[in-house]
Amino acid sequence: MLFNSYAFLLVFLPAAIAIASVVDRYPNRRRPVLIALSLIFYAYWDVRFLPLMVVSILANWYLAKAYAAIRSGALIAAGIVGNLAVLGFFKYTNFLADNFAALGIPAGHIDVALPLGISFFTFHHVMYLVDLRGGRAPLYSLDRYALYICYFPQAISGPLARWSEVMDQFGQQMFRPGWEERCAFGVTLIVLGLLQKVLLADPVGAAVEPVFAEALKGPVIDGKSWIALGFAFQLFFDFSGYSDIAIGTALILGVKLPQNFDAPFRATSIRDFWRRWHMTLSRFLRDYIYIPLGGNRFGLSRQIAALLATMALGGLWHGAGWTFVIWGVLQGLAIACAVLWRRTLPGPPALVGWAATAIFSILSFVIFRAGSIEAAWHIYEGLMILPQYRLEGRNAVLAAAACAFLLPPTYEICRRLTATPQLAVPAGLGVAMVAVLVALGESQSYQFIYFQF
Partner 1 sequence: MTLATAQTDPAAGTSSTEAREALRWRRWLAAFLLTTGLLGTFVYAGVVLVDPFSTGRFTLMQGVDVASRNARLLKGGVARDPRFDAAVFGSSTGFPLDPRRIGNGTGWAVAQLAIPASLPPSQLLVARTFQRYHSNRANLQIYTLDELWCRPGDPAAGAWGAFPEWVYESPDREYLSRILFPEALTAAARRLVIRAGLMEAPARADGFMTTNLTPVPRTKLAALVRPSANPAPDNRFPALELLAAHIAALPADSRLAFAFMPPYVNMLPVAGSPAEARLQACKARAREIAGLRPNTAWLDLMTENALTTNAMNYYDEVHTTPAAADEIAAAIVGVLKEKDLVKR
Footprint on this chain of partner 1 (rule: CB under 8 A):
6, 177-178, 180-181, 183-184, 187, 421-423, 425-427, 429-431, 433-434, 437-444
Contact 288, 306 (CB under 8 A): no
Name the DSSP class of 298: S
349 or 421, CB closer to partner 1?
A: 421
191 or 362, CB closer to partner 1?
A: 191
What count of residues does the chain have?
453
3-state secondary structure of 92: helix
Least Cβ distance, residue 6 to partner 1 (angstroms): 7
318 as an active site residue: the answer is yes
164 or 422, CB closer to partner 1?
A: 422
Contact 403, 264 (CB under 8 A): no
* Catalytic residue of the set 124, 125, 318, 378: 318
C-alpha distances in angstroms, 196 versus 210, 232, 233, 426? 21, 14, 10, 18
Tell me the C-alpha distance between 439 and 201, whole Å: 13
Name the DSSP class of 452: G
Instruction: Tell me how far the alpha carbon of residue 252 is from its chain's centroid.
Output: 20
Least Cβ distance, residue 150 to partner 1 (angstroms): 28
Q: Is residue 103 packed enough to be buried (19+ CB in 10 Å), middle (13-18) or exposed (0-12)? A: exposed
CA end-to-end distance (rounded Å), the chain? 16
Least Cβ distance, residue 430 to partner 1 (angstroms): 3
Least Cβ distance, residue 97 to partner 1 (angstroms): 27
34 or 191, CB closer to partner 1?
A: 191
Least Cβ distance, residue 184 to partner 1 (angstroms): 5
C-alpha distances in angstroms, 307 versus 40, 244, 282, 313? 39, 29, 12, 10
Tell me the C-alpha distance between 283 and 302, whole Å: 20
138 or 430, CB closer to partner 1?
A: 430
3-state secondary structure of 217: helix
- Phi first, then psi, for residue 331 (nearest 5°) are -65, -45
362 or 439, CB closer to partner 1?
A: 439
Active site residues: 318
